[in-house]
Amino acid sequence: GAGVSQSPRYKVAKRGQDVALRCDPISGHVSLFWYQQALGQGPEFLTYFQNEAQLDKSGLPSDRFFAERPEGSVSTLKIQRTQQEDSAVYLCASSSTLQGASYGYTFGSGTRLTVV
């Protein structure tokens, strides 16, 4: 597609509920990233995929967070047993190169998750 597409745009979850957030990167982009942006803060790295391989998951805050990209295209970020501190905007980004950090990513509009 023309840009990085994320769905849903907004998600309200009750505490303890599981959620799944979807990211459709730009077609052909090999690198895919997830970031978490708390209110009034800059985005913070969660995880990185190169094609279907998850090469870095050092930013995932707990084992309740899980990400996958099984066919090297669409990715899903899953959060189990959501807690209030999980409330944030979750941003997906993709890059056509393996050196995205040197040249820049294209970000999606994000999914705003509110846990009540």
Partner 1 sequence: GNSVTQMEGPVTLSEEAFLTINCTYTATGYPSLFWYVQYPGEGLQLLLKATKADDKGSNKGFEATYRKETTSFHLEKGSVQVSDSAVYFCALGNTGNQFYFGTGTSLTVIP
CA–CA separation, 92 vs 1, rounded Å?
14
Contact 67, 48 (CB under 8 A): no
Contact 18, 81 (CB under 8 A): yes
Q: Of 18 and 56, which CB lies nearer to partner 1 in the complex structure?
A: 56
Q: Applying CB under 8 A, which of residues 65, 82, 100, 115 lies at the interface with partner 1?
A: 100
Contact 24, 2 (CB under 8 A): no
Stretch that binds partner 1, among 18-26, 54-62, 70-78, 79-87 (CB under 8 A): 54-62
Residues within window 56-75 making contact with partner 1, judged by CB under 8 A: 56, 59
Q: Applying CB under 8 A, which of residues 41, 61, 62, 81 lies at the interface with partner 1?
A: 41
Nearest distance from C-beta of residue 15 to partner 1, angstroms: 26
Task: Dump strand ranges (E) for the chain.
Answer: 5-7, 10-13, 19-24, 31-37, 44-50, 53-56, 65-68, 75-79, 88-95, 106-107, 111-115
Q: Of 18 and 44, which CB lies nearer to partner 1 in the complex structure?
A: 44
Binding residues (CB under 8 A) for partner 1: these are 4, 6, 31, 33, 35, 40-45, 48, 55-56, 59, 91, 93, 98-110
